[in-house]
């Protein structure tokens, strides 16, 4: 009798666990798009972050990057300001013509001034909606470059989607990193198994073009293909030698192809990203530190 009761308790617990697991609702961006969790409690700014296993609130990830031009020569990102003409708001709410400064960058052959050159940035997981609306359905990431080991005052914001079906993240896209808007984004689908493959697509406007790599007129549609090619790669990092999953991806549109080889670890997320850009240049990004 005790065995029967024990078995019934275990079966009931398993049924409840299964029902809870199946209660998570998802939406998908297109037929082959990213899976998003659906949560209706907009009063909770952490609802898309609190169940994350990797990109948890207040965690920080420091990345180092190296850029190689189409000829294979390493170049360095140097900060600069440029002046633009446009329209500004007045105190009365009207608009008036004005000039203003915006952040930009140039390429340097030497890394001779750490106050103006940068090869690192920090990703901070932010549990708030100060930048995005309450309906924003992603984990918020705050990104800023490091200059002389000090954080830039300028911060950009984007999103991460982490759940039991997939992990997708928008890369840094300020200054030099505007170039990777045309590349496959770091993205892995679960369950992890060698040979697994998936697709998605994204519309990209011409404002992401730049004469330093590629310009175009009108919108384009990037079509992405991803595949897990190895599930036991060893990647040497400052956190130790990590066992990683290798994901290879290609993006194709009417203006050309780009590529990404990403290495994923189930503790630190994406620890290495090798981008081949639209002009044949490369941008290598490595995780070099965390605060956990």
Instruction: Kindly report, residue by residue over 191-232, the tens digit of the pLDDT.
Output: 999 999 999 999 999 999 999 999 999 999 999 999 999 999
Structure confidence at residue 4 as a pLDDT band (50, 70, 90) = very low
Whether 95 is covered by a domain: the verdict is: no
**CB under 8 Å to 19, separation ≥6 — which residues?**
none
> Mean pLDDT of all residues in the chain?
90
Residue 227 sits in which domain range?
Answer: 35-77+107-290
pLDDT the model gives residue 13: 40
14 in any annotated domain = no
pLDDT at residue 170 greater than cutoff 90: yes
* pLDDT surpasses 50 at 158: yes
Q: Would 118 be classed as within a structural domain?
A: yes
Assess whether pLDDT exceeds 50 at residue 6: no
* Residue 88 within any structural domain of the chain: no
CA distance 204 to 267: 31
The whole-angstrom separation of Cα 157 and Cα 133 is 13
CATH number at residue 165: 2.40.360
Specify the number of domains making up the chain.
1
Looking at residues 153-177, what average pLDDT do you find?
96
Q: What is the mean pLDDT of the segment spanning 27-45?
A: 89
CA of 212: how far to CAs of 72, 82, 215, 278, in Å?
Answer: 15, 15, 9, 11
In the three-class reduction of DSSP (H, G, I as helix; E, B as strand; rest coil), residue 72 is classed as: coil
Domain contains 217: yes
Distance CA 100, CA 84 (A): 5
Residues 6+ apart with CB under 8 A from 110: 76
pLDDT at 188 over 50: yes
pLDDT at 8: 43
Contact in structure between 204 and 222 (CB atoms under 8 Å): yes
For residue range 87-140, list pLDDT tens digits in order.
Answer: 888 888 788 889 888 889 999 999 999 999 999 999 999 987 678 888 899 999
Q: What's the rounded mean pLDDT across residues 263-276?
A: 98
User: How many Cα atoms are found within 13 Å in the side-chain-facing hemisphere of 205?
Assistant: 1
139 compared with 2, residue with greater pLDDT:
139
- pLDDT value for 218: 96
What is the pLDDT, as a whole number, of residue 20?
A: 37
- Decide if 108 contacts 114 (C-beta within 8 A): no
The pTM score is 0.88
Q: For residues 224 and 191, is the Cβ–Cβ distance under 8 A? A: no
Check pLDDT > 80 for residue 252.
Answer: yes
Query: Does 181 map to a domain?
Result: yes
């Amino acid at each position: 009798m005790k065995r029967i009761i024990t078995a019934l308790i275990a079966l009931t617990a398993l049924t409840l666990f299964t029902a809870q697991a199946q209660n998570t609702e998802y939406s998908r961006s297109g037929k082959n798009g990213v899976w998003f969790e659906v949560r209706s409690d907009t009063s909770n700014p952490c609802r898309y972050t609190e169940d994350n296993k990797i990109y948890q609130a207040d965690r920080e990830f420091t990345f180092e990057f190296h850029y190689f031009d189409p000829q294979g020569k390493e170049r360095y990102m140097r900060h600069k300001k440029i002046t633009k003409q446009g329209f500004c708001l007045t105190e009365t709410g009207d608009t008036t013509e004005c000039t203003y400064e915006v952040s930009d960058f140039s390429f340097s052959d030497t890394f001779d001034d750490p106050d103006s050159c940068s090869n690192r940035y920090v990703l901070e997981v932010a549990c708030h909606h100060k930048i995005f609306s309450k309906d924003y359905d992603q984990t918020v990431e705050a990104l800023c470059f490091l200059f002389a080991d000090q954080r830039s005052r300028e911060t950009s914001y984007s999103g991460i989607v982490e759940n039991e079906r997939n992990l997708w993240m928008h890369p840094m896209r300020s200054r030099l990193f505007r170039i990777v808007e045309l590349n496959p984004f770091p993205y892995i689908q679960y369950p992890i198994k060698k040979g697994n493959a998936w697709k998605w697509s994204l519309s990209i406007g011409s404002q992401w073009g730049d004469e330093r790599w590629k310009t175009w007129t009108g919108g384009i549609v990037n079509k992405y293909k991803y595949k897990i090619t190895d599930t036991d790669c060893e990647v040497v990092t400052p956190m130790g030698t990590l066992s990683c999953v290798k994901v290879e991806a290609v993006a194709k549109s009417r203006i050309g192809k780009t590529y990404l080889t990403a290495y994923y670890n189930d503790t630190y997320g994406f620890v290495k990203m090798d981008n081949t850009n639209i002009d044949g240049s490369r941008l290598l990004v490595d995780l070099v530190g965390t605060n956990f």
